[in-house]
Amino acid sequence: MAQTQTDLPLAGVRVVSLAPNLPGPLAAARLQAMGATVTKVEPPTGDQFSQVAPDWYAELVAGQEVVALDLKDPDGRAALETRLAGADVLLTSMRPSALARLGLPESAERHGLLLVEIVGYDGDREEEAGHDLTYQAVRGTLQPPAMPPVPWVDVLGSERAVSATLAGLRRRDAAGGSVRERVVLDDVAHDAAAAVRHRLSTPGAVLGGGLPAYGVYATADGHVAVAAIEPHFARRLASAVGSTREELAAAFAGGTNEHWEALGRSLDIPIAAVRTPPAEGGPR
Protein backbone atom coordinates (compact mmCIF):
# COMPACT_ATOMS: atom_id res chain seq x y z
CA MET A 1 0.00 0.00 0.00
CA ALA A 2 1.50 3.33 -1.11
CA GLN A 3 2.17 5.98 1.50
CA THR A 4 0.27 9.25 1.32
CA GLN A 5 1.93 12.57 2.09
CA THR A 6 0.43 12.58 5.59
CA ASP A 7 1.92 9.15 6.28
CA LEU A 8 5.48 10.33 5.68
CA PRO A 9 7.74 10.80 8.72
CA LEU A 10 8.16 14.58 8.36
CA ALA A 11 4.55 15.37 7.48
CA GLY A 12 3.63 18.66 9.12
CA VAL A 13 7.23 19.88 9.44
CA ARG A 14 7.80 23.25 7.77
CA VAL A 15 11.27 24.10 6.46
CA VAL A 16 12.54 27.47 5.30
CA SER A 17 15.77 27.13 3.32
CA LEU A 18 18.26 29.93 2.77
CA ALA A 19 20.83 27.44 1.45
CA PRO A 20 21.83 27.88 -2.23
CA ASN A 21 24.10 25.88 -4.54
CA LEU A 22 24.27 22.15 -3.77
CA PRO A 23 24.27 20.78 -0.22
CA GLY A 24 21.31 22.86 0.91
CA PRO A 25 18.97 22.21 -2.03
CA LEU A 26 19.85 18.50 -1.97
CA ALA A 27 19.06 18.35 1.74
CA ALA A 28 15.84 20.32 1.31
CA ALA A 29 14.69 17.99 -1.47
CA ARG A 30 15.35 14.95 0.75
CA LEU A 31 13.42 16.55 3.61
CA GLN A 32 10.53 17.24 1.26
CA ALA A 33 10.62 13.63 0.06
CA MET A 34 10.22 12.65 3.71
CA GLY A 35 7.07 14.74 3.99
CA ALA A 36 8.27 18.23 4.98
CA THR A 37 6.86 21.38 3.40
CA VAL A 38 9.75 23.45 2.03
CA THR A 39 9.96 27.14 1.21
CA LYS A 40 13.16 28.07 -0.63
CA VAL A 41 14.15 31.72 -0.22
CA GLU A 42 16.46 33.09 -2.90
CA PRO A 43 17.93 36.54 -3.60
CA PRO A 44 16.32 38.54 -6.40
CA THR A 45 19.11 37.35 -8.73
CA GLY A 46 18.14 33.74 -8.02
CA ASP A 47 20.21 30.72 -7.01
CA GLN A 48 23.23 30.60 -9.31
CA PHE A 49 22.85 26.82 -9.41
CA SER A 50 19.75 27.37 -11.56
CA GLN A 51 22.02 28.91 -14.21
CA VAL A 52 24.78 26.30 -13.98
CA ALA A 53 22.51 23.23 -13.94
CA PRO A 54 18.93 24.29 -14.73
CA ASP A 55 17.57 20.74 -15.10
CA TRP A 56 19.04 19.56 -11.81
CA TYR A 57 17.87 22.75 -10.10
CA ALA A 58 14.32 22.20 -11.39
CA GLU A 59 14.42 18.61 -10.15
CA LEU A 60 15.49 19.68 -6.67
CA VAL A 61 12.93 22.46 -6.18
CA ALA A 62 9.95 20.63 -7.68
CA GLY A 63 7.01 20.91 -5.31
CA GLN A 64 8.63 23.64 -3.21
CA GLU A 65 7.60 27.24 -2.81
CA VAL A 66 10.40 29.39 -4.25
CA VAL A 67 10.36 33.00 -3.05
CA ALA A 68 12.69 35.82 -4.09
CA LEU A 69 13.52 38.18 -1.20
CA ASP A 70 16.20 40.81 -0.77
CA LEU A 71 17.26 40.20 2.82
CA LYS A 72 19.32 43.39 2.84
CA ASP A 73 16.10 45.34 2.36
CA PRO A 74 13.91 45.87 5.46
CA ASP A 75 10.78 44.76 3.60
CA GLY A 76 12.44 41.58 2.39
CA ARG A 77 13.78 40.82 5.84
CA ALA A 78 10.32 41.40 7.34
CA ALA A 79 8.78 39.04 4.77
CA LEU A 80 11.29 36.37 5.78
CA GLU A 81 10.47 36.91 9.44
CA THR A 82 6.79 36.28 8.70
CA ARG A 83 7.67 32.95 7.10
CA LEU A 84 9.96 31.99 9.96
CA ALA A 85 7.16 32.61 12.44
CA GLY A 86 5.27 29.68 10.93
CA ALA A 87 8.26 27.36 10.40
CA ASP A 88 9.92 24.56 12.32
CA VAL A 89 13.34 24.43 10.63
CA LEU A 90 15.64 27.08 9.22
CA LEU A 91 18.27 25.62 6.87
CA THR A 92 21.19 27.88 5.97
CA SER A 93 24.43 27.69 4.01
CA MET A 94 26.47 30.82 4.61
CA ARG A 95 29.41 32.03 6.64
CA PRO A 96 28.67 32.55 10.34
CA SER A 97 29.33 36.28 10.00
CA ALA A 98 26.63 36.58 7.31
CA LEU A 99 24.23 34.57 9.47
CA ALA A 100 24.86 36.93 12.38
CA ARG A 101 24.64 40.04 10.20
CA LEU A 102 21.14 39.02 9.10
CA GLY A 103 20.09 38.36 12.69
CA LEU A 104 19.07 34.79 11.86
CA PRO A 105 20.22 33.14 15.10
CA GLU A 106 18.03 35.61 16.99
CA SER A 107 15.10 34.85 14.68
CA ALA A 108 15.53 31.12 15.26
CA GLU A 109 15.57 31.71 19.01
CA ARG A 110 12.56 34.01 18.87
CA HIS A 111 10.43 31.53 16.96
CA GLY A 112 11.72 28.38 18.64
CA LEU A 113 13.20 27.01 15.42
CA LEU A 114 15.73 24.30 14.69
CA LEU A 115 18.59 26.12 12.97
CA VAL A 116 20.67 23.82 10.74
CA GLU A 117 23.82 25.54 9.50
CA ILE A 118 25.87 24.12 6.64
CA VAL A 119 29.36 25.65 6.85
CA GLY A 120 32.73 24.93 5.27
CA TYR A 121 34.90 24.95 8.37
CA ASP A 122 34.49 25.22 12.12
CA GLY A 123 36.35 26.88 14.95
CA ASP A 124 39.09 29.35 14.07
CA ARG A 125 38.60 28.64 10.35
CA GLU A 126 34.84 29.15 10.21
CA GLU A 127 35.10 32.26 8.03
CA GLU A 128 37.35 30.62 5.39
CA ALA A 129 35.99 30.10 1.90
CA GLY A 130 35.74 26.59 0.52
CA HIS A 131 33.94 24.37 -1.95
CA ASP A 132 33.67 20.66 -2.72
CA LEU A 133 36.84 20.74 -4.83
CA THR A 134 38.99 22.30 -2.12
CA TYR A 135 37.68 19.98 0.60
CA GLN A 136 38.55 17.01 -1.59
CA ALA A 137 41.97 18.47 -2.36
CA VAL A 138 42.88 18.74 1.31
CA ARG A 139 41.67 15.22 2.13
CA GLY A 140 43.61 13.49 -0.65
CA THR A 141 40.77 12.27 -2.84
CA LEU A 142 41.71 14.16 -6.02
CA GLN A 143 43.79 12.61 -8.79
CA PRO A 144 45.28 15.60 -10.66
CA PRO A 145 44.84 16.79 -13.29
CA ALA A 146 41.45 15.03 -13.53
CA MET A 147 38.40 16.70 -12.04
CA PRO A 148 36.18 14.59 -9.76
CA PRO A 149 33.09 13.32 -11.61
CA VAL A 150 30.89 13.60 -8.51
CA PRO A 151 30.85 16.47 -5.94
CA TRP A 152 30.66 13.87 -3.20
CA VAL A 153 31.43 16.21 -0.30
CA ASP A 154 28.38 18.28 -1.23
CA VAL A 155 26.26 15.15 -1.70
CA LEU A 156 27.33 13.57 1.59
CA GLY A 157 27.10 16.95 3.29
CA SER A 158 23.47 17.17 2.24
CA GLU A 159 22.74 13.78 3.79
CA ARG A 160 24.48 14.87 6.99
CA ALA A 161 22.28 17.98 7.00
CA VAL A 162 19.23 15.70 6.76
CA SER A 163 20.55 13.65 9.71
CA ALA A 164 21.19 16.85 11.64
CA THR A 165 17.61 17.95 10.95
CA LEU A 166 16.18 14.68 12.23
CA ALA A 167 18.36 14.76 15.34
CA GLY A 168 17.67 18.44 15.87
CA LEU A 169 13.91 17.99 15.67
CA ARG A 170 14.13 15.40 18.46
CA ARG A 171 16.25 17.78 20.53
CA ARG A 172 13.78 20.59 19.84
CA ASP A 173 10.84 18.46 20.96
CA ALA A 174 12.68 17.56 24.17
CA ALA A 175 13.90 21.10 24.86
CA GLY A 176 10.67 22.85 23.93
CA GLY A 177 12.52 25.66 22.19
CA SER A 178 15.17 26.64 19.69
CA VAL A 179 18.15 24.36 19.06
CA ARG A 180 21.09 24.60 16.69
CA GLU A 181 22.90 22.00 14.60
CA ARG A 182 26.04 22.67 12.55
CA VAL A 183 27.18 20.58 9.56
CA VAL A 184 30.85 21.15 8.71
CA LEU A 185 31.73 20.12 5.15
CA ASP A 186 35.43 19.76 5.93
CA ASP A 187 34.49 17.22 8.62
CA VAL A 188 32.33 15.41 6.07
CA ALA A 189 35.31 15.23 3.69
CA HIS A 190 37.58 13.95 6.47
CA ASP A 191 35.19 11.16 7.41
CA ALA A 192 34.42 10.16 3.82
CA ALA A 193 38.13 10.00 2.94
CA ALA A 194 38.86 7.37 5.60
CA ALA A 195 39.64 4.71 2.97
CA VAL A 196 42.29 6.99 1.52
CA ARG A 197 43.64 7.95 4.93
CA HIS A 198 43.94 4.29 5.95
CA ARG A 199 45.49 3.40 2.57
CA LEU A 200 42.78 0.95 1.57
CA SER A 201 42.46 2.45 -1.91
CA THR A 202 46.12 3.00 -2.79
CA PRO A 203 47.40 0.95 -5.77
CA GLY A 204 47.68 -2.67 -4.74
CA ALA A 205 45.60 -2.29 -1.57
CA VAL A 206 42.32 -4.10 -0.88
CA LEU A 207 40.21 -1.46 -2.61
CA GLY A 208 42.97 -0.38 -4.99
CA GLY A 209 43.32 -3.42 -7.21
CA GLY A 210 45.06 -5.77 -4.81
CA LEU A 211 42.30 -8.40 -5.04
CA PRO A 212 41.68 -9.95 -8.47
CA ALA A 213 38.02 -10.50 -7.56
CA TYR A 214 37.51 -6.78 -6.89
CA GLY A 215 38.31 -4.70 -9.94
CA VAL A 216 37.42 -3.43 -13.39
CA TYR A 217 37.94 -5.63 -16.44
CA ALA A 218 37.74 -5.03 -20.19
CA THR A 219 35.08 -6.98 -22.05
CA ALA A 220 34.29 -7.56 -25.72
CA ASP A 221 32.28 -4.32 -25.82
CA GLY A 222 33.33 -2.25 -22.81
CA HIS A 223 34.19 -2.85 -19.17
CA VAL A 224 32.61 -4.50 -16.14
CA ALA A 225 33.06 -3.80 -12.44
CA VAL A 226 33.49 -6.98 -10.43
CA ALA A 227 32.98 -6.70 -6.67
CA ALA A 228 33.32 -10.29 -5.42
CA ILE A 229 35.15 -9.21 -2.30
CA GLU A 230 33.41 -11.56 0.17
CA PRO A 231 34.68 -15.18 0.20
CA HIS A 232 31.38 -16.69 -0.99
CA PHE A 233 31.26 -14.31 -3.96
CA ALA A 234 34.95 -14.93 -4.72
CA ARG A 235 34.41 -18.71 -4.71
CA ARG A 236 31.54 -18.46 -7.16
CA LEU A 237 33.58 -16.17 -9.41
CA ALA A 238 36.58 -18.52 -9.31
CA SER A 239 34.41 -21.50 -10.19
CA ALA A 240 32.57 -19.81 -13.05
CA VAL A 241 35.14 -17.41 -14.50
CA GLY A 242 38.60 -17.62 -12.87
CA SER A 243 40.58 -16.72 -9.78
CA THR A 244 43.80 -15.02 -10.88
CA ARG A 245 43.92 -11.63 -12.51
CA GLU A 246 45.21 -13.18 -15.71
CA GLU A 247 42.41 -15.77 -15.81
CA LEU A 248 39.77 -13.17 -15.15
CA ALA A 249 41.13 -10.70 -17.71
CA ALA A 250 41.22 -13.36 -20.43
CA ALA A 251 37.74 -14.63 -19.63
CA PHE A 252 36.02 -11.25 -19.38
CA ALA A 253 37.58 -10.12 -22.67
CA GLY A 254 35.74 -12.93 -24.43
CA GLY A 255 32.20 -11.92 -23.49
CA THR A 256 29.93 -8.88 -23.72
CA ASN A 257 28.78 -6.70 -20.88
CA GLU A 258 25.29 -8.13 -21.24
CA HIS A 259 26.62 -11.67 -20.95
CA TRP A 260 28.58 -10.93 -17.78
CA GLU A 261 25.76 -9.06 -16.10
CA ALA A 262 23.42 -11.96 -16.83
CA LEU A 263 25.97 -14.39 -15.40
CA GLY A 264 26.31 -12.26 -12.27
CA ARG A 265 22.55 -12.26 -11.74
CA SER A 266 22.21 -15.99 -12.32
CA LEU A 267 25.07 -16.92 -9.95
CA ASP A 268 24.52 -14.12 -7.43
CA ILE A 269 27.88 -12.41 -8.06
CA PRO A 270 28.07 -8.58 -8.04
CA ILE A 271 29.02 -7.75 -11.65
CA ALA A 272 27.90 -4.54 -13.35
CA ALA A 273 28.66 -3.01 -16.71
CA VAL A 274 30.51 0.31 -16.61
CA ARG A 275 28.12 2.74 -18.25
CA THR A 276 28.84 6.15 -19.69
CA PRO A 277 26.96 9.12 -18.21
CA PRO A 278 23.50 9.56 -19.74
CA ALA A 279 22.82 12.44 -22.06
CA GLU A 280 21.75 15.65 -20.33
CA GLY A 281 18.20 15.28 -19.13
CA GLY A 282 18.21 11.59 -20.12
CA PRO A 283 16.85 8.66 -18.11
CA ARG A 284 18.27 7.79 -14.70
* pTM exceeds cut of 0.75: yes
Model confidence over 53-78: pLDDT tens digits?
999 999 999 999 999 999 999 999 99
User: What pLDDT shows up at residue 6?
Assistant: 74
The pLDDT of residue 4? 63
The pLDDT of residue 282 is: 47
Q: 155-179: per-residue pLDDT in tens?
A: 999 999 999 999 999 999 998 899 9
Residue 89 contacts residue 169 (beta carbons within 8 Å): yes
CATH class of the domain whose range is 214-273: alpha beta
Domain boundaries, the chain: 5-195, 214-273
Dihedral angle, C-alpha 280, 131, 43, 79, nearest 10 °? 120
**pLDDT, position 283:** 45
Q: How far apart are CA 111 and CA 190, in angstroms?
A: 34
pLDDT at res. 280: 53
pLDDT-flagged residues of the chain (< 70): 1-5, 278-284
Q: 5-195 belongs to which homologous superfamily?
A: Crotonobetainyl-coa:carnitine coa-transferase; domain 1 (3.40.50.10540)
How far apart are the C-alpha atoms of 242 and 233, rounded to whole Å?
Answer: 12
Where residue 268 falls (left for φ over 0; alpha for ψ -120 to 50; beta otherwise) is left
